[in-house]
Structure 1
């Protein structure tokens, strides 16, 4: 090989080496940039023996904007977690006070025994501790009553009930009145039922002295005003969000970090209310059993909606059990383990063909949480 050709070969070889080094440097810079902004480094403060809790405390003692970023899948329009307002500083409007009385008024049921508050009890985060609620004449409903305690935090949502069948809060307020398993009255009877128990003067105080009859619109406006006033009480979780990480012990803090990162919870549970307000399929149709429920599919008839149910708020989670639309989960450790295993489903032979198609939401994947990590997530959830 002559010297000129040898020189050309050397230049070519070095140019390849330099290009490789250049790409490696660019990759390293990209990784360091992502880590600097906390974009996906969810192993931060983790080592072979476990987690460096002093390191995690240092990270979460920073302003929220500088916290390690949560693990969020592409296309998810999420919001950062935020504290709820202090309920002690708020007072009900006259319309909301009227709505509160109506919410607990049993005269609006067929047997005079059931009110909205019978199935949405304040001491249970406006949910029901029974698997399914019991309405007029002892009739059982089909689903567990959803918590309402977060409604004041989600005034712009457009899907209500587990299956999203109501498109406004006004519609949600009226549907239980006519449901035969809940209150079982006609909307036309609202006027005489309420006038019979002395509500006309109360409606005049709110809507004006010209009111001669109580209308459906006035009724729903008052109850909606009350529901939109509902917010959960602040907890140690809100204290952390307000800047005091000492409100969490080490296990709760680790669970909080995992909730945001490895456990992937913030793909659906974010913002003040800790809910995206959307419908998802979690393999919880119980297809083929006596408790089968196909969710939004029963409303729309669209196979894409099979098994979809609305994401519940996690606020006051400990008070709102049992969980899920079927109310069959009472053990939070079991719930976390189900998510850890990506919601496995064993269908009996009696399950319909549609149930055998893979409808499970793509957000649900195996998590690989250890027993210590699962217990930490539970400890955090109990602070909500």
Structure 2
């Protein structure tokens, strides 16, 4: 469920306001101007300024400022100008207002404000440094590598403040907090994985942002609490345990006017998790252009195709496999032609996911019958390509 629409920003900002925030990349404060507000999309068009310095108390402290123009990499002098969710983060403050420095609509959208990132890149570029430095305060792991790291008796890494972990099958949050006690931004992406001891994240008292995707096992008691994480300014949850989703939504929505962005989408019940654990098309459930009926038909066709492929390798002679794979591929392509004619939902991403689903089945067949099924994979694709309209 997304944030309920409001007529005005929940934390007061108006067109012309100048907001300031501290940038970790710059080691200083930086500033931006609010150029437009859109109630329909709940966004603010934010123009970054070419300024950094000590914490300002008013617009006068900025001096004679200008918009930030980007020439690094392939920006070619474009303004650093983007639409953001219009919840002004807790760590940002309004220092006053000035006449608009730009009055055109922004044509890009970003998921977080991150003031100072572009200014830091621009200054490095101008100084002759064309590669972003490796920041000791950022760390990225896969679920497998972080669990191996957590299992070793090594010292904590308090310098890491921005931590991203992907492809999580299971993760113990108690161990995570012990090893990364200084985390302020935490991104956890699972594979319908298990997040245990999630309540321990309340020990991250400086936490500012959390994003959790496709992870389960959390209960209402594990919810983050404002009194424990008072600086939290972004709660972004997608495809997570329903009980935890409900508790986090009810706990943090009252904090939106104080500067916490809240998005809780696709709360999943345990039955959904079990049913979709081996379903590579599960992300279609609830996607904007895909109806519930279309999702169910797509999953049914995937299961039919999977059953047919596994049957070929378990029961049929090797000399007919190539022909049978082409037949199955054609049936798969034609079935999704028919589905797509009804609602036109297959775009670039969905097309790639449909081919990835076939790869998933072949990988499963290889696990059961041994490697060397590339010919079968090729034959499937030939069959699909001979008929598909998507």
The reply to whether TM is greater than 0.5 is no
Considering only CA atoms, is the larger Rg found in Structure 1 or Structure 2?
Answer: 1
Bigger strand share: 2
Q: Which has the higher contact order (CA 8 A, sep 6+)?
A: 1
Bigger helix share: 1
Q: TM-score range by the shorter chain?
A: under 0.3
State TM-score, norm by structure 2: 0.21
State TM-score, norm by structure 1: 0.21
